[in-house]
């Protein structure tokens, strides 16, 4: 046997291997390096090849080395085996050892195949891992999408809308030029349309929830097609509420144009299954510069604009207006506190004498409501009566006024039986339509002991003229019981005497402004008033003039034929006890009186 060290053999074989690998493509290492490596491996193999028992692992390394060097090619394997066989044969100590040569070749081939299989498996695993990672990423994206979108309509949800809005506000203004912000560049603006479908509940009730859902999907689709091509985002943020975020906005007019387009789009009938459904929506608009805009304010202001739009009726849009909103909020606060104010005793009634024009003798007293508000001070009725009417508080409030005023008048009646003034109570149209009103009045009269003829009810001309059958019946019933009815603020509306005559009205009250209009610069012979008084008398009506502030007014009105008067010349509205004091005084109850405030 040829005694050479593996190192010497390796040097000997390197050239052989180099020619075996020549031309093989894709080698991961330079060809001569691979040849050297293989030669070294082959030398190691050959050094132990003849030792028994035969160790195939050493030979297998040669096959694996080919694969590791990316020499995955049957031709290269074949040539390698040839190199090994030639070298082994040269070294073979005996012909019988050829079996060993075959075993070495087999082991090299087996190493080659195993390495190849391992490599393929690793690759397969690697691509499986990649696939898994891709699926995971898609899944995460899907989760993110679900967390940010409405499952029914597929448009953005509240979360995404708020995120986008926050990001828009947070984004700094783009630098305009090399010197920083361009002062001439228009400020970046943002717009929000807050949309609510009108009467959507009735769609659900009429057609069922499935149709309701389909309709919402269709609405979302129309909104998206109109708004999302613009720099906008549509989000569903409640059952039938959508919001559109537009940034940059083209200004308030552009947002209004967008809102009206959207309203028109929604009003085009929807076909859902066999149903053809007509819809309207209301839109609240907010439009302002991005700089300084606050997220919470934008949403709140859009909401209050929507509230206003809704209040104006279906199918409307409304732009947020800060001044308007401040008034609305103050009115809202006042309205909500009114009920508790009534319970807390914050309301009072003051009384203004109604006197006979020729001699100033006390005939009646008008009850006028005041609200002694804990923070706003004393409020006159014009600050809250309308709110009480629109919120319905007028019913309990008006009943309280009636009870208080009648109790007061009953006391005067006891102080001066036969000579007490009548009490004149203002009545809102709503009170007269309350079916329980006549019963209330009868109960109050019974409880206080006030005779019916000492009660007068004042209704404005418009409340009287607009009376449908219910208040008319109410007034007729009351008149039949002996209650007086007066037409308040006569001259401010229709001034239709003939019409009034058909109602159970006993007197006309001419408003202060009516008198002022006739006499802007003081009293003068005024034919309109004398004609009016004459006509009223012929129809059996008495005439009371309000707002008499001077003795000249009083004299002139008396000459013109008016019957009674009320005003600061005689007395301002005073607490009930002041009138009681006048009645206790045995002297005739005449006005003006120095003891009572004027003006
Ligand atoms: P009205 O019934 O026409 O009451 C007359 C108003 O003229 C009162 O205002 C009174 O204070 C004011 N006035 C009296 N003398 C003069 C004067 O010489 N010059 C001028 N410029 N004004 C004078 P007030 O108390 O602010 O009441 C305003 C209106 O509020 C009343 O008009 C009445 O329509 C309504 N109102 C008052 N109390 C009640 C109530 O209890 N219920 C209802 N529903 N309405 C009420
Ligand atoms: Mg009145
Ligand atoms: Mg009046």
573: domain CATH number is: 3.20.20.450
Q: Distance between CA 425 and CA 350 in Å, rounded?
A: 11
Q: Which of 320, 344, 365 is the last residue of a domain?
A: 320
Give the CA diameter of the chain: 163
Residue 325 within a domain: no
In the reported structure, the alpha carbon of residue 381 is separated from the centroid of ligand 1 by a whole-number distance in angstroms of 7
Take atom 23 of ligand 1 and give the residue whose Cα is closest. 547
- Residue appearing with tokens 């029914």: 152
Residue 37 within a domain: yes
Verify whether ligand 1 is closer than 6 Å to residue 567 (CB atom). Answer: yes
More confident residue, 418 or 73: 418
Atom of ligand 1 nearest to the CA of 548: 18
pLDDT of residue 177: 54
Ligand nearest to the CA of 463: 1
In the reported structure, the alpha carbon of residue 490 is separated from the centroid of ligand 3 by a whole-number distance in angstroms of 8
Does 439 share its domain with 405? Answer: yes
Pair of tokens at residue 241: 């509420």
Closest C-alpha to 351, from 28, 571, 499: 571
Question: Which residues have a beta carbon within 5 Å of ligand 2, which is an ion?
Answer: 426, 458, 488
Verify whether ligand 1 is closer than 6 Å to residue 512 (CB atom). Answer: yes
Does 361 share its domain with 300? Answer: no
Does 345 share its domain with 451? Answer: yes
Verify whether ligand 1 is closer than 6 Å to residue 547 (CB atom). Answer: yes
Take atom 12 of ligand 1 and give the residue whose Cα is closest. 547
Q: How many domains does the chain have?
A: 3
Domain with 113 in it: 6-122
User: Residue 1 — very low, low, confident or very high, per pLDDT cuts 50/70/90?
Assistant: very low
Residue 226 within a domain: yes
Question: Which residues have a beta carbon within 5 Å of ligand 3, which is an ion?
Answer: 488-489, 509, 546
Q: Distance between CA 282 and CA 259 in Å, rounded?
A: 9
Verify whether ligand 1 is closer than 6 Å to residue 573 (CB atom). Answer: yes
Q: Which of 287, 320, 353 is the last residue of a domain?
A: 320
CATH number of the domain within which 288 lies: 3.30.70.270
Q: Name, in order, each residue with C-beta under 8 angstroms of 323's C-beta and a sequence gap of 6 or more.
A: none
In the reported structure, the alpha carbon of residue 491 is separated from the centroid of ligand 3 by a whole-number distance in angstroms of 10
pLDDT single digits (tens) 22-59: 776 555 677 778 788 888 888 888 777 777 777 888 88
Residue 356 is given by DSSP the state E
* 485 neighbors 459 (Cβ within 8 angstroms): yes
Does 259 share its domain with 280? Answer: yes
| Average pLDDT of the chain, as a whole number | 88
Does 523 share its domain with 550? Answer: yes
Verify whether ligand 1 is closer than 6 Å to residue 401 (CB atom). Answer: yes
pLDDT of residue 411: 98
Q: Which of 271, 292, 320 is the last residue of a domain?
A: 320
pLDDT of residue 19: 80
In the reported structure, the alpha carbon of residue 456 is separated from the centroid of ligand 3 by a whole-number distance in angstroms of 13
User: pTM above the 0.85 mark?
Assistant: no
Does 298 share its domain with 339? Answer: no
More confident residue, 227 or 27: 227
Does 344 share its domain with 288? Answer: no
Q: Which of 348, 351, 381 to mutate to test the pocket of ligand 1 (most atoms within 8 A of CB)?
A: 381
In the reported structure, the alpha carbon of residue 366 is separated from the centroid of ligand 2 by a whole-number distance in angstroms of 7
pLDDT single digits (tens) 99-145: 788 888 888 889 988 988 988 888 888 888 888 999 999 989 988 99
Residue 135 within a domain: no
pLDDT of residue 8: 74
pLDDT single digits (tens) 302-349: 999 999 999 889 999 999 988 887 887 888 888 889 999 999 999 999
Residue 73 within a domain: yes
Ligand nearest to the CA of 352: 1
Verify whether ligand 1 is closer than 6 Å to residue 568 (CB atom). Answer: yes
Ligand nearest to the CA of 397: 1
pLDDT of residue 92: 67
pLDDT of residue 257: 95
Residue 109 within a domain: yes
Q: Name, in order, each residue with C-beta under 8 angstroms of 288's C-beta and a sequence gap of 6 or more.
A: 189, 190, 298
Q: Distance between CA 31 and CA 27 in Å, rounded?
A: 7
- C-alpha dihedral (571, 573, 574, 575), degrees to nearest 10: 150
Does 361 share its domain with 504? Answer: yes
Give one DSSP letter per residue of 385-443, joined into a string.
HHHHHHHTTHHHHHHHHHHHHHHHHHHHHHHSTTTPPEEEEE--HHHHH-TTHHHHHHH
pLDDT single digits (tens) 162-210: 999 999 999 876 655 555 556 666 789 999 999 999 999 988 899 999 9
Verify whether ligand 1 is closer than 6 Å to residue 488 (CB atom). Answer: yes
Q: Which of 426, 548, 571 to mutate to test the pocket of ligand 1 (most atoms within 8 A of CB)?
A: 426
Residue 15 within a domain: yes
Take atom 5 of ligand 1 and give the residue whose Cα is closest. 546
Verify whether ligand 1 is closer than 6 Å to residue 468 (CB atom). Answer: no
Distance set, CA 221 to CA 208, 265, 283, 465, 514 (Å): 20, 11, 17, 50, 58
Take atom 35 of ligand 1 and give the residue whose Cα is closest. 381
Does 433 share its domain with 479? Answer: yes
pLDDT single digits (tens) 498-538: 777 778 999 999 988 777 776 766 555 477 888 889 989 99
pLDDT of residue 559: 92
pLDDT single digits (tens) 441-484: 999 999 999 999 999 999 987 787 665 667 788 999 999 999 99
pLDDT of residue 449: 97
Does 220 share its domain with 348? Answer: no
Does 17 share its domain with 116? Answer: yes
Residue 327 within a domain: no
Does 198 share its domain with 249? Answer: yes
Verify whether ligand 1 is closer than 6 Å to residue 459 (CB atom). Answer: no
Verify whether ligand 1 is closer than 6 Å to residue 285 (CB atom). Answer: no
pLDDT single digits (tens) 561-592: 999 999 999 999 999 999 999 999 999 999 99
pLDDT of residue 491: 77
């Amino acid at each position: 046997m040829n005694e050479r060290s593996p190192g010497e053999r390796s040097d000997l074989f390197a050239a052989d291997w180099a020619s075996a690998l020549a031309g093989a493509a894709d080698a991961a290492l330079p060809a001569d390096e691979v040849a050297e490596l293989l030669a070294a491996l082959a030398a190691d193999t050959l050094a132990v090849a003849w030792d028994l028992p035969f160790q195939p692992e050493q030979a297998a390394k040669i096959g694996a080395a080919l694969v590791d060097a990316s020499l995955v090619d049957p031709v290269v394997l074949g040539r390698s085996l040839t190199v090994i066989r030639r070298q082994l044969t040269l070294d073979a100590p005996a012909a019988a050892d050829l079996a060993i040569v075959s075993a070495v070749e087999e082991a090299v081939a087996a190493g080659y195949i195993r390495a190849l299989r391992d490599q393929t498996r690793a690759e397969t695993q690697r691509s499986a891992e990649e696939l898994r990672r891709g699926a995971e990423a898609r899944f995460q994206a899907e989760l993110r999408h679900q967390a940010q979108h409405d499952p029914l309509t597929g448009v953005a949800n509240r979360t995404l809308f708020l995120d986008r809005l926050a990001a828009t506000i947070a984004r700094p203004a783009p630098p305009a030029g090399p010197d920083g912000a361009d002062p001439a560049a228009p400020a970046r603006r943002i717009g929000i349309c807050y949309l609510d479908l009108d009467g959507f509940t009735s769609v659900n009730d009429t057609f069922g929830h499935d149709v309701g859902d389909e309709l919402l999907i269709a609405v979302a689709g129309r909104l998206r097609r109109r708004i999302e091509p613009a720099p906008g985002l549509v989000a569903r943020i409640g059952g039938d509420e959508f919001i559109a975020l537009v940034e940059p906005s083209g200004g308030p007019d552009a947002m209004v144009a967008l809102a009206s387009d959207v309203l028109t789009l929604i009003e085009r009938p929807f076909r859902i299954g066999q149903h053809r459904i007509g819809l309207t929506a209301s839109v609240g608009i907010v439009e302002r510069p991005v700089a300084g805009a606050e997220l919470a304010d934008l949403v709140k202001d859009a909401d209050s604009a929507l509230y206003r739009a809704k209040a104006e009726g279906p199918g409307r849009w409304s732009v947020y207006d800060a001044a308007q909103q401040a008034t609305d909020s103050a009115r809202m606060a006042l309205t909500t506190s009114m009920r508790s104010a009534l319970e807390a005793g914050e309301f009072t009634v003051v009384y203004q004498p109604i006197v006979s024009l020729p001699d100033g003798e006390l005939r009646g007293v008008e009850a006028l409501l005041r609200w002694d508000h804990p923070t706003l001070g004393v409020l006159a009725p014009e600050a809250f009566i309308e709110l009480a009417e629109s919120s319905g508080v007028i019913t309990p409030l008006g009943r309280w006024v009636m009870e208080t005023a009648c109790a007061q008048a009953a006391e005067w009646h006891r102080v001066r039986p036969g000579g007490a003034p009548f009490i004149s109570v203002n009545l809102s149209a709503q009170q007269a339509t309350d079916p329980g009103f006549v019963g209330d009045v009868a109960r109050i009269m019974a409880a206080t002991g006030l005779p019916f003829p000492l009660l007068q009810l004042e209704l404005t001309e418009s409340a009287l003229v607009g009376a449908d059958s219910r208040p008319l019946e109410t007034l007729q019933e009351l008149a039949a019981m002996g209650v007086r009815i007066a037409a308040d603020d006569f001259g401010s509306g229709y001034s239709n005497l003939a019409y009034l005559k058909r109602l159970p009205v006993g007197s006309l009250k001419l408003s202060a402004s009516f008198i002022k209009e006739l006499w802007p610069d003081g009293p003068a012979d005024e034919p309109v008033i004398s004609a009016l008084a004459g006509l009223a008398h012929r129809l059996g009506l008495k005439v009371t003039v309000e707002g008499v502030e001077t003795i000249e007014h009083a004299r002139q009105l008396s000459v013109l034929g008016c019957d009674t008067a009320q005003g600061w010349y005689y007395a301002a509205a005073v607490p009930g006890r002041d009138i009681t004091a006048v009645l206790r005084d045995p002297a005739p109850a005449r006005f003006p009186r120095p003891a009572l405030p004027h003006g």
